[in-house]
Structure 1
Amino acid sequence: MNLENPSQENVTYMLNEITAKLKMVNASVFENLTLESIHYESLVDIYTVIHRKKTISLREMQLFAEELRTIRK
Protein backbone atom coordinates (compact mmCIF):
# COMPACT_ATOMS: atom_id res chain seq x y z
CA MET A 1 0.00 0.00 0.00
CA ASN A 2 1.33 3.41 -0.95
CA LEU A 3 0.83 5.70 2.03
CA GLU A 4 2.52 8.67 0.36
CA ASN A 5 -0.73 9.64 -1.34
CA PRO A 6 -3.29 10.85 1.19
CA SER A 7 -6.63 9.07 0.87
CA GLN A 8 -9.46 8.02 3.14
CA GLU A 9 -8.60 4.39 2.35
CA ASN A 10 -5.08 4.94 3.68
CA VAL A 11 -6.40 6.65 6.81
CA THR A 12 -8.73 3.74 7.51
CA TYR A 13 -6.00 1.18 6.83
CA MET A 14 -3.48 2.86 9.15
CA LEU A 15 -6.00 3.33 11.95
CA ASN A 16 -7.05 -0.32 11.73
CA GLU A 17 -3.43 -1.46 11.82
CA ILE A 18 -2.60 0.84 14.73
CA THR A 19 -5.57 -0.28 16.82
CA ALA A 20 -4.71 -3.93 16.17
CA LYS A 21 -1.03 -3.50 17.05
CA LEU A 22 -1.78 -1.47 20.17
CA LYS A 23 -4.61 -3.86 21.10
CA MET A 24 -6.90 -0.90 21.64
CA VAL A 25 -10.23 -1.94 23.09
CA ASN A 26 -12.05 1.27 22.22
CA ALA A 27 -11.19 1.64 18.54
CA SER A 28 -14.50 3.41 17.98
CA VAL A 29 -12.75 6.63 18.98
CA PHE A 30 -11.36 6.68 15.41
CA GLU A 31 -14.67 6.07 13.62
CA ASN A 32 -15.27 9.64 12.52
CA LEU A 33 -11.74 10.50 11.48
CA THR A 34 -11.58 11.58 7.88
CA LEU A 35 -8.73 12.66 5.69
CA GLU A 36 -9.94 16.25 5.99
CA SER A 37 -10.10 16.17 9.81
CA ILE A 38 -6.57 14.96 10.59
CA HIS A 39 -2.93 15.81 10.04
CA TYR A 40 -2.15 13.05 7.56
CA GLU A 41 1.62 13.30 7.85
CA SER A 42 1.42 12.90 11.63
CA LEU A 43 -0.69 9.78 11.24
CA VAL A 44 1.81 8.33 8.77
CA ASP A 45 4.67 9.07 11.18
CA ILE A 46 2.89 7.37 14.09
CA TYR A 47 1.89 4.41 11.93
CA THR A 48 5.46 3.98 10.67
CA VAL A 49 6.95 3.91 14.17
CA ILE A 50 4.31 1.49 15.48
CA HIS A 51 4.54 -0.74 12.40
CA ARG A 52 8.33 -1.12 12.77
CA LYS A 53 8.23 -2.12 16.44
CA LYS A 54 8.22 -5.85 17.17
CA THR A 55 6.96 -5.40 20.73
CA ILE A 56 5.32 -2.47 22.45
CA SER A 57 5.39 -1.91 26.19
CA LEU A 58 2.37 -0.72 28.13
CA ARG A 59 4.01 2.67 28.61
CA GLU A 60 4.65 2.96 24.87
CA MET A 61 1.01 2.04 24.21
CA GLN A 62 -0.04 4.91 26.46
CA LEU A 63 2.34 7.32 24.76
CA PHE A 64 1.15 6.32 21.29
CA ALA A 65 -2.48 6.69 22.34
CA GLU A 66 -1.72 10.19 23.64
CA GLU A 67 0.10 11.03 20.43
CA LEU A 68 -2.86 9.83 18.35
CA ARG A 69 -5.02 12.48 20.03
CA THR A 70 -2.86 15.16 18.40
CA ILE A 71 -3.58 14.16 14.80
CA ARG A 72 -6.94 15.95 14.72
CA LYS A 73 -6.95 19.35 13.03
Structure 2
Amino acid sequence: MNLETPSQENVNFMLTEITTKLKMVNVGVFENLELDSVDYNALIDIYQLIKRKSNFSPREMQLFAEELRRIRK
Protein backbone atom coordinates (compact mmCIF):
# COMPACT_ATOMS: atom_id res chain seq x y z
CA MET A 1 0.00 0.00 0.00
CA ASN A 2 1.38 3.38 -1.01
CA LEU A 3 0.69 5.68 1.91
CA GLU A 4 2.40 8.62 0.23
CA THR A 5 -0.69 9.18 -1.91
CA PRO A 6 -3.49 10.68 0.19
CA SER A 7 -6.69 8.65 -0.05
CA GLN A 8 -9.63 7.76 2.15
CA GLU A 9 -8.52 4.13 2.05
CA ASN A 10 -5.10 5.10 3.42
CA VAL A 11 -6.64 7.21 6.20
CA ASN A 12 -8.88 4.31 7.23
CA PHE A 13 -5.98 1.84 7.07
CA MET A 14 -3.63 3.96 9.18
CA LEU A 15 -6.27 4.77 11.78
CA THR A 16 -7.18 1.09 12.10
CA GLU A 17 -3.53 0.11 12.48
CA ILE A 18 -2.88 2.86 15.03
CA THR A 19 -5.92 2.14 17.17
CA THR A 20 -5.22 -1.60 17.09
CA LYS A 21 -1.57 -1.23 18.03
CA LEU A 22 -2.36 1.22 20.83
CA LYS A 23 -5.26 -0.97 21.97
CA MET A 24 -7.51 2.06 22.03
CA VAL A 25 -10.96 1.46 23.46
CA ASN A 26 -12.80 4.49 22.10
CA VAL A 27 -12.12 3.95 18.39
CA GLY A 28 -15.51 5.40 17.48
CA VAL A 29 -13.89 8.83 17.66
CA PHE A 30 -12.03 8.02 14.44
CA GLU A 31 -14.86 6.39 12.52
CA ASN A 32 -15.98 8.26 9.43
CA LEU A 33 -12.98 10.57 9.57
CA GLU A 34 -12.83 12.07 6.08
CA LEU A 35 -9.62 12.60 4.13
CA ASP A 36 -10.23 16.34 3.71
CA SER A 37 -10.70 16.80 7.48
CA VAL A 38 -7.33 15.27 8.41
CA ASP A 39 -3.78 16.61 8.40
CA TYR A 40 -2.57 13.72 6.26
CA ASN A 41 1.15 14.36 6.79
CA ALA A 42 0.71 14.42 10.57
CA LEU A 43 -1.23 11.15 10.38
CA ILE A 44 1.58 9.51 8.40
CA ASP A 45 4.12 10.73 10.97
CA ILE A 46 2.11 9.28 13.86
CA TYR A 47 1.56 6.03 11.97
CA GLN A 48 5.28 5.62 11.23
CA LEU A 49 6.27 6.31 14.84
CA ILE A 50 3.78 3.79 16.17
CA LYS A 51 4.77 1.12 13.64
CA ARG A 52 8.41 1.31 14.80
CA LYS A 53 7.68 0.55 18.44
CA SER A 54 6.53 -2.73 19.91
CA ASN A 55 5.59 -1.55 23.41
CA PHE A 56 4.18 1.69 24.74
CA SER A 57 4.12 3.16 28.21
CA PRO A 58 0.79 4.51 29.45
CA ARG A 59 2.17 8.04 29.04
CA GLU A 60 3.18 7.39 25.42
CA MET A 61 -0.27 6.00 24.68
CA GLN A 62 -1.83 9.11 26.16
CA LEU A 63 0.43 11.39 24.12
CA PHE A 64 -0.35 9.55 20.89
CA ALA A 65 -4.07 9.78 21.64
CA GLU A 66 -3.71 13.54 22.17
CA GLU A 67 -1.83 13.89 18.89
CA LEU A 68 -4.51 11.92 17.07
CA ARG A 69 -7.11 14.38 18.34
CA ARG A 70 -5.06 17.22 16.84
CA ILE A 71 -4.83 15.82 13.32
CA ARG A 72 -8.29 17.09 12.48
CA LYS A 73 -8.17 20.26 10.40
Q: TM-score, structure 2 length as denominator? A: 0.97
Gaps of 5+ in 2: none
1:38 and 2:41 are equivalent in the alignment: no
By how many angstroms is 1:32 displaced? 2.5
- Structure 1 partner of 2:16: 16
Query: What is the rounded CA distance, in whole Å, between the counterparts of 2:21 and 2:57 in structure 1?
Result: 11
Give the equivalent residue in structure 2 for 1:47: 47
1:55-66 map, 5 Å: 55-66=55-66
Measured against aligned partners, the alpha-carbon deviations of 1:5-62 in whole angstroms (never above 9, x if no partner) come to 0000000000000000000011000012110001000000000000110111111000
- The residue identity in structure 1 corresponding to 2:43 is L
Aligned length, in residue pairs? 73
Q: Partners in 1 of 2:52 and 2:8 — Cα distance?
A: 22
Runs of 4+, deviation exceeding 3 Å: none
State the superposition RMSD in angstroms.
0.6
Partner SS, residue 65 of structure 1:
helix
Which residue pairs with 2:2 in the alignment? 2
Q: 1:60, 1:53 → 2: CA distance? A: 11
* Structure 1 residue runs without a partner (length 5+): none
TM-score (norm 1): 0.97
Match of 1:25 in 2: 25
